[in-house]
Amino acid sequence: MIKKEEEKLEAIRLRKLGLSYSEILTKVPVAKSSLGLWLKSVGLSKKIKYNLTEKKRLAGLRGAQKRHEQRISLTKKILYNAENEIKYISKRELWLIGVCLYWAEGSKEKERHPGSNVQFSNSDPKMILLFLKWLDETCKIPQNMIYFDIYIHESHRKRVDLVKEFWRNCTGYPKEQFDHVYYKKNKIRTKRINIGDSYYGVVKVRVRRSSAFLRRIAGWIEGVCDVTLPGGVFGNTPAFEAGDTRFEP
């Protein structure tokens, strides 16, 4: 009983010195519930209260920073492990990747507007590069058949030369193939975040005289659906095995 009373008095003394509950518990090893009862009615000066509040705030910031660092570390580990799962991409796999990319981001031929050409739009430089690689290596489209449209907001009109230079450097294509720039009107009120110097608009990759090629892509997309979606022939032997370099689309 004497020991408990001594621990209580010591806890009260430390509290009046401005120590937090956590700090007191390192010196007075009792249950936190007991400590709460002992210190419930302890009066503190304004200065001590301020110091305790500041300690709590700083401890919260340190905890948030630690969780932030742990999250970044975990994210890097996940990304690294996932990246290393992709060890090799065969020619057939690259072909299928390009088909699905076009399915997601490419323009489709409309019944009311037959004879459309291949058009692929995106703002992600890596996606644009992958699509160009697909056109070159898998579909054997000559570079002189490809040209680009750039779409940027009116507010970036003064940066148009920088934007064109960015996409030329990114793709490796000559400046003559980036002649078409279109400006999007800005809304008076907008929540857009693409307003800084890292904004380079959207690029549309066009292939000249490619209406037949577009229809072939449409057929490839239907083929993907036929062998993967319910009612298709998923699981049957593919027409080309992975790594088959004889494939010529």
- DSSP states along 78-146: HHHHHHTT-----HHHHHHHHHHHHHHHB---BTTB-SPPPEEEES-HHHHHHHHHIIIIIT---GGGE
> Is 247 domain-assigned?
no
Written as one letter, the residue type at 40 is: K
> Is 162 domain-assigned?
yes
Instruction: Answer with the one of 57, 80, 103 that is the final residue of a domain.
Output: 80
Q: Is the pLDDT of residue 237 over 50?
A: no
Q: Do 60 and 169 reside in the same domain of the chain?
A: no
The CA-atom distances, in angstroms, between 118 and each of 138, 204, 207, 218 are 15, 10, 5, 11
d(CA 9, CA 35): 11
134 burial (CB, 10 Å; 0-12 / 13-18 / 19+) is buried
Question: DSSP secondary-structure letter at 186?
Answer: P
Q: Do 216 and 109 reside in the same domain of the chain?
A: yes
pTM, entire model: 0.70
45-89 pLDDT, tens digit per residue, is: 677 777 778 888 888 899 999 999 999 999 999 999 999 999 999
Q: Quote the pLDDT of residue 190.
A: 57
For 126, the token pair is 């890596």
98-138 pLDDT, tens digit per residue, is: 999 999 999 998 777 777 899 999 999 999 999 999 999 99
Q: Is the pLDDT of residue 166 over 50?
A: yes
| Domain span including residue 201 | 91-228
How many Å separate Cα 75 from the centre of its chain? Answer: 12
Angle of the 32-39 helix axis to the 2-16 helix axis, nearest 10: 70
Q: In the β-sheet with 202-207, what is the strand arrangement from edge to edge?
A: 119-122, 202-207, 146-153, 180-184
Secondary element (H or E) of residue 183: strand 180-184
Instruction: Answer with the one of 27, 60, 80 that is the final residue of a domain.
Output: 80
Alpha helices, H only, the chain:
2-16, 21-27, 32-39, 46-83, 91-105, 125-133, 160-171, 211-228
Q: Do 29 and 99 reside in the same domain of the chain?
A: no
Q: Quote the pLDDT of residue 99.
A: 97
Q: Which of 35-39, 71-75, 155-159, 163-167 has the lowest mean pLDDT?
A: 35-39
- Shortest CA distance to 38 belongs to which of 69, 15, 68? 15
How many Å separate Cα 187 from the centre of its chain? Answer: 26
The CA-atom distances, in angstroms, between 235 and each of 100, 226, 231, 243 are 19, 11, 12, 18
Q: Do 120 and 208 reside in the same domain of the chain?
A: yes
User: In residues, how long is the chain?
Assistant: 249
**Cα torsion through 29, 30, 36, 39, rounded to 10:** -60
Q: Do 44 and 156 reside in the same domain of the chain?
A: no
Number of domain units in the chain: 2
Q: Do 208 and 144 reside in the same domain of the chain?
A: yes
